[in-house]
């Protein structure tokens, strides 16, 4: 299956970010901790060059803890400030103020030397759809400033949010890039919900997830669904359908319903803490 989703508002959003970047001191980029590489828009590095950078590994509660530590080290070696985060519960939020000040220390000191006091740090919050930007902003601000949702594409325009006297945030829409050169990236984005489910083949998506899990996290499917992890991925999806009573009105199993259950269990963390990629795979 070819994975792609690039609605018209994303082109407009990218142009808007190019115009606003000159006003910005810091770029805060949210990525999904389960796919830290695939959930990074490669255009952001070009847009944000010469700016201080903070990467937030959001939804870290859903990701493999040991593998997340490897990703933190990877991004730090690339020169980024990095934090693990769960914007929904607030875990990791207390550390952000200190890191923002450290990332913008030179700018703050420069302002003081020029006699400029109390000019707030301006941070642009960026990321692809459904990585939790709006949830992060609401949690950081301590109030509902933006719309949130578990589907991609909720935020359509920009919005300035003044957190306090020292920090202002610019919320931006989630933007993908026009073409995935590597379709495995598109597959992972589909799995975490950054591409609209309505344009996906959920059965194929579930087969791909089963293939990965049976190789990298053996025993997870057996534990969750009480099935034997043997045979083809299709046979395992069939076993999940049988165990969960996914039946069509006539005779036969409802593979799509079983696929939906599996994908939802992965996205919600009911399968456990899982990470779909490692830094060394990207370097290779």
Judged by DSSP in three states, 222 sits in helix
The whole-angstrom separation of Cα 155 and Cα 27 is 18
pLDDT value of residue 253:
96
Is 134 annotated in a binding site? The answer is yes
Q: Which residues contact 181 (CB under 8 A, 6 or more apart)?
A: none
Answer yes or no: is 61 a known binding residue: yes
Answer yes or no: is 139 a known binding residue. no
CA nearest to 185, candidates 57, 39, 33, 55: 39
Q: Annotated binding residue at 131?
A: yes
- With a cut of 90, say whether residue 276 has pLDDT above it: yes
Count CB atoms within 10 A of the CB of residue 227. Answer: 20
Q: Residue 183: which pLDDT band, with cuts at 50, 70 and 90? A: confident
pLDDT in tens, 58-103: 999 999 999 999 999 999 999 999 999 999 999 999 999 999 999 9
Q: Which pLDDT value is given to residue 171?
A: 87
At CA 202, angle to CA 254 and CA 146, rounded to 5?
Answer: 125
Reported confidence tier of residue 197, pLDDT bands at 50, 70, 90? confident
pLDDT in tens, 199-254: 889 999 999 999 999 999 999 999 999 999 999 999 999 999 999 999 998 779 99
The answer to whether 132 touches 91, Cβ cutoff 8 Å, is: no
For the record, the structure tokens of 190 come out as 């589909």
Q: Which residues contact 21 (CB under 8 A, 6 or more apart)?
A: 27, 47, 48, 51, 124
- Going from the C-alpha of 91 to that of each of 80, 126, 261, the distances in angstroms are 20, 20, 27
- pLDDT over 50 (residue 2): yes
Mean per-residue pLDDT of the chain: 88
What pLDDT, on the 0 to 100 scale, is given for residue 168? 93
133 annotated to bind ligand = yes
What is the per-residue pLDDT for 6?
Answer: 47
| pLDDT confidence tier of residue 104, bands split at 50, 70 and 90 | very high
58 in a labelled binding site: yes
Q: What is the separation of C-alpha 210 from the centre of its chain, rounded to a whole number of angstroms?
A: 21
The domains found in the chain, sorted by start residue, are 8-171 (3.40.50.300), 201-283 (1.10.1580.10)
**Residue 10: pLDDT above 80?**
no
Q: With CA atoms as reference, report the closest residue to 242 among 230, 226, 231.
A: 226
Cβ(81)–Cβ(53) below 8 Å: yes
Per-residue confidence band for 39, with pLDDT thresholds at 50, 70 and 90: very high
- Does 22 appear as a known binding residue? no
Is residue 257 scored above 60 in pLDDT?
Answer: yes
């Amino acid at each position: 299956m070819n994975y792609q989703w690039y609605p018209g508002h994303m082109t407009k959003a990218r142009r808007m970010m190019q115009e606003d970047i000159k006003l910005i001191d810091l770029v805060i980029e949210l990525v999904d901790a389960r796919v830290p590489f695939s959930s990074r828009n490669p255009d952001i590095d070009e847009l944000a060059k010469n700016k201080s950078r903070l990467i937030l590994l959001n939804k870290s509660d859903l990701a493999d803890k040991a593998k997340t530590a490897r990703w933190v080290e990877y991004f730090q070696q690339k020169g980024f400030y990095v934090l693990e985060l769960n914007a929904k519960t607030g875990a990791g939020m207390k550390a952000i103020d200190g890191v923002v000040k450290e990332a913008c220390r030179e700018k703050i000191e420069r302002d003081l030397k020029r006699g400029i006091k109390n000019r707030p740090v301006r941070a642009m919050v960026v990321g692809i759809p459904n990585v939790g930007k709006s949830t992060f902003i609401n949690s950081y601000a301590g109030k509902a400033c933006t719309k949130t949702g578990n589907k991609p594409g909720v935020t359509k325009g920009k919005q300035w949010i003044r957190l306090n006297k020292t920090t202002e945030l610019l919320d931006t829409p989630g933007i993908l890039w026009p073409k995935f050169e590597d379709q495995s990236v598109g597959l992972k984005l589909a799995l975490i919900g950054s591409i609209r489910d309505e344009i996906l083949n959920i059965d194929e998506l579930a087969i791909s997830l089963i293939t990965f899990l049976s190789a990298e996290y053996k025993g997870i499917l057996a534990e969750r669904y009480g099935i034997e992890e043997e045979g083809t991925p299709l046979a395992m999806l069939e076993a999940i359908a049988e165990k969960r009573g996914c039946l069509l009105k006539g005779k036969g199993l409802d593979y799509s319903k079983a696929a939906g259950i599996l994908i939802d269990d992965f996205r919600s963390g009911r399968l456990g803490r899982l990470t779909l990629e490692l830094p060394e795979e990207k370097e290779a």
